[in-house]
């Protein structure tokens, strides 16, 4: 059984109320009774039995009491013995739970309950936790404060009084429960966090820890520049703020949450980028036919990140309109083809990264002139190909089962040149012209439709294709089931 009690509010100097004790009865007829503050009626002693040869007025002869034998049980006491195995079951930051086992001896008058008492460190008085005895062997004391230090004892009681108590060997110390620090990095910050130059950086990192831990930040292992970076630490999160990010703000920001000897760390990589510079130079390498070969050098500044490639554009001298030839092209040389004969072209190249294209391109200083050349056309002799082909079935007929009264279709596909003549047969008998059947074809697929068949229409159907180069045929079996 378990009971829950609140810690008594008695101070260390206040006396605990005593548990009322019932005075034990005298063990012999001549033992004096203890004063109880109340008068008790005298109790007449029982008359001793007369001996057979004793007269009514003669005094009785004393019979000596026999001493107990060596194996006799000791005389039972009135109060219970001390409870056994007083143990602390659980200690939190505001409560303590203790348990014990019943005493070996319950006394002559049985067990009335248990009284749990508390004595704070430095005090001399024991304060009862429960106002009256309780029939439980486990009890929780609540409403304790961190820093409290006290002793506990428990005694068993019955109508004869309280027995000797069982006391804990060591005092109970209520400490604030320490929750190890833990940092919960948001998912989008577990990879490199990209910002463009001039954008705001506002990172909110939640953490746990009790009591409130110490929080600190470093940038590439060094203390933060308070002129550029501001930090606000709360009870459950830390916010790092940069109003206008610059490229020198890139790097590894490490958050440390420390609680006494425990600590947790989290690293967040920030990369501040901007648009790249254009290629250093671009030049015409060669011009032949309708083709131009270009070559350029990479930009000196890629914007603090890798390039996604280059964009190559062309413009003819007449229209001066730019058209994109290549996008996100990685090599630094290219060939532009399909240029118009007689035109002159300029070329320009942009660099590109995650922020976009460079603000300005690198432009060729010279024009590429596509000159006219004498072209002699050599016509090849045309050879006419013979596409004649004997009939062949690319998709044969398939066996089919249908129900009487429901029209059904049989289909197959034929390849032949010239177009073949199609003959449909049932059980090797030509059914052309029979109004029960209808035939049609579409792009080499030939279909026979049997209108409202009956079991009599069951049999083997054949499709035969014939042209001047040969013939071919396919069969299938149709089964028509009668309706019941």
d(CA 216, CA 211): 16
Q: Which of 245, 269, 273, 284 is nearest to 352 (CA)?
A: 273
pTM score = 0.48
Left (φ > 0), alpha (ψ -120 to 50) or beta: where does 318 sit?
alpha
Q: What is the pLDDT along the chain (484 residues), one digit of tens a residue?
A: 555 555 555 443 343 444 434 333 333 333 333 333 333 333 333 344 444 444 444 443 443 444 444 444 444 568 888 899 999 998 888 889 999 999 988 888 888 899 999 999 888 899 998 888 888 999 999 888 888 899 999 999 988 888 899 998 888 988 877 788 999 999 999 999 999 999 999 999 999 988 889 999 999 999 999 999 999 999 899 999 999 999 999 999 999 999 888 899 999 999 999 999 999 999 999 999 899 999 999 999 999 999 999 999 999 999 999 999 999 999 999 999 999 988 999 999 999 999 999 999 999 999 999 888 766 777 788 788 888 999 999 999 999 999 998 899 999 999 999 999 999 999 999 998 888 999 999 988 999 999 999 999 999 999 999 999 999 999 999 999 988 6
Could you tell me which residues come within 8 angstroms of residue 381 by beta carbon, excluding any fewer than 6 positions away?
A: none
Write the burial class of residue 139 (CB in 10 Å: 0-12 exposed, 13-18 middle, 19+ buried): buried
CA torsion through residues 419, 424, 428, 434, sign:
negative
d(CA 476, CA 396): 8
Q: Which of 167, 155, 162 is nearest to 109 (CA)?
A: 162
State CA 304 to chain mean position distance.
35
State CA 394 to chain mean position distance.
56
- Could you please report the per-residue DSSP string of 162-186? E---EE-SS-EE--PPPEEEEE---
Neighbours of 246 (CB within 10 A): 13
Neighbours of 136 (CB within 10 A): 17
CA-based radius of gyration for the chain: 55
Q: Are 274 and 191 in contact (CB under 8 A)?
A: no
d(CA 295, CA 321): 22
| Domains and their CATH numbers in the chain | 83-174 (2.60.40.10), 180-273 (2.60.40.10), 281-383 (2.60.40.10), 389-481 (2.60.40.10)
Q: In the Cβ-directed half-sphere of 211, how many Cα atoms lie within 13 Å?
A: 5
For residue 20, give the DSSP letter: P
d(CA 97, CA 141): 6
Q: Which of 44, 240, 78 is nearest to 158 (CA)?
A: 78
Neighbours of 79 (CB within 10 A): 23
- Residue 178 has what pLDDT? 79
- Residue 6 has what pLDDT? 57
Residue burial 275-311, b: 16+ Cβ < 10 Å; e: rest: bbbbbeebebeebeeeebebbbeebeebbbbebbbbb
């Amino acid at each position: 059984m378990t009971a829950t009690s609140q810690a008594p509010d008695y101070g260390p100097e206040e006396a605990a109320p005593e548990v009322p004790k019932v005075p034990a009865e005298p063990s012999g007829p001549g033992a004096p009774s203890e004063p109880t503050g109340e008068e008790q009626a005298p109790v007449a002693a029982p008359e001793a039995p007369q001996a057979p040869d004793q007269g009514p007025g003669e005094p009785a002869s004393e019979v000596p009491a026999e001493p107990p034998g060596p194996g006799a049980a000791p005389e039972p006491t009135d109060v219970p013995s001390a409870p056994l195995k007083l143990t602390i079951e659980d200690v939190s930051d505001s409560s303590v739970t203790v348990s014990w086992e019943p005493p070996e001896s319950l006394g002559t008058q049985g067990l009335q309950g248990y009284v749990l008492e508390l004595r704070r460190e430095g005090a001399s008085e024991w304060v009862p936790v429960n106002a009256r005895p309780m029939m439980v062997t486990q009890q929780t004391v609540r409403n304790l404060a961190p820093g409290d230090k006290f002793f506990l004892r428990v005694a068993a009681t019955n109508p004869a009084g309280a027995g000797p108590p069982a006391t804990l060997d060591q005092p109970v110390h209520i400490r604030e429960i320490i929750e190890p620090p833990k940092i919960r990095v948001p998912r989008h910050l577990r990879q490199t966090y990209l910002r463009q130059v001039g954008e705001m950086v506002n990172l909110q990192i939640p953490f746990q820890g009790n009591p409130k831990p110490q929080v600190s930040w470093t940038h590439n292992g060094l203390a933060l520049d308070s002129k550029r970076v501001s930090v606000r630490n709360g009870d459950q999160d830390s916010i790092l703020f940069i109003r206008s990010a610059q490229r020198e703000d890139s790097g590894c920001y490490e958050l440390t949450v420390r609680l006494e000897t425990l600590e947790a760390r989290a690293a967040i990589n920030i990369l501040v980028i901007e648009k790249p510079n254009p290629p250093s130079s671009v030049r015409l390498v060669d011009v032949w036919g309708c083709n131009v070969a270009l070559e350029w050098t990479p930009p000196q500044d890629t914007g603090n990140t890798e390039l996604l490639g280059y964009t190559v554009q062309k413009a003819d001298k007449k229209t001066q309109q730019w058209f994109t030839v290549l996008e996100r092209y990685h090599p630094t040389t290219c060939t532009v083809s399909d240029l118009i004969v007689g035109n002159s072209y300029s070329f320009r190249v942009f660099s590109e990264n995650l922020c976009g294209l460079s603000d300005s391109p690198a432009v060729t200083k010279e024009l590429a002139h596509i000159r006219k050349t004498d072209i002699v056309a050599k016509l090849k002799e045309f050879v006419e190909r013979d596409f004649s082909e004997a009939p062949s079935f690319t998709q044969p007929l398939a066996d089919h089962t249908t129900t009487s009264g429901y029209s059904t279709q049989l289909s197959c596909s034929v390849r032949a040149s010239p177009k073949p003549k199609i003959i449909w047969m049932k059980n090797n008998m030509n059914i052309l012209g029979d109004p029960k059947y209808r035939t049609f074809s579409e792009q080499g697929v030939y279909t026979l439709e049997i209108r409202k068949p009956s079991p009599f229409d069951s049999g083997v159907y054949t499709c035969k294709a014939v042209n001047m180069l040969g013939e071919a045929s396919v069969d299938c079996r149709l089964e028509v089931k009668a309706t019941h």
